[in-house]
Amino acid sequence: MAGEEGFEPCVTWMKRTEFRFLIGVLLVQIRDQNKAVLEGIKDLPTRMEFSELRQDVAELKQDMKVVRAATTDTSHQVHDLERRVSRLEAA
């Protein structure tokens, strides 16, 4: 029994060492994952930048409405001119 009692502290020490090693490995993995997440989100716009982007998009939408209206008007004018030219050529 004395031999067994002398062996237990060594096994306990080994288990503790292995446990500490595994905890260390897990902590390194978690740290690396955290770094990867931070690296991935560092390029995301901040709340203020996102708000500015929204404003820019709203302005662009308004500008596109004006461009669309002008294009439609020009298209109608071209169609009308083509029709008038066709009539003149036919006469």
DSSP string, the chain: -HHHHHHHHHHHHHHHHHHHHHHHHHHHHHHHHHHHHHHHHTTSPPHHHHHHHHHHHHHHHHHHHHHHHHHHHHHHHHHHHHHHHHHHHH-
- What's the structural domain count of the chain? 2
Regarding whether 34 and 54 lie in a shared domain, the answer is no
Q: At residue 62, does pLDDT exceed 80?
A: yes
Q: Looking at residues 74-91, what average pLDDT do you find?
A: 92
Q: Are residues 40 and 61 in the same domain?
A: no
The verdict on 36 and 61 lying in the same domain is no
- Shared domain for 56 and 89, answered yes or no, is yes
Is pLDDT above 70 for 10? no
Q: Which domain holds residue 51?
A: 45-91
Do 61 and 23 belong together in one domain? no
| Shared domain check, 38 and 7 | yes
**Domain check: are 2 and 35 in the same one?**
yes
Provide the mean pLDDT of the chain.
86
- pLDDT the model gives residue 8: 61
Confidence of residue 17 (pLDDT cuts 50, 70, 90): confident
* pTM for the structure as a whole: 0.45
Instruction: Give the long-range contacts of residues 43-46, CB within 8 A, separation 24 or more.
Output: none
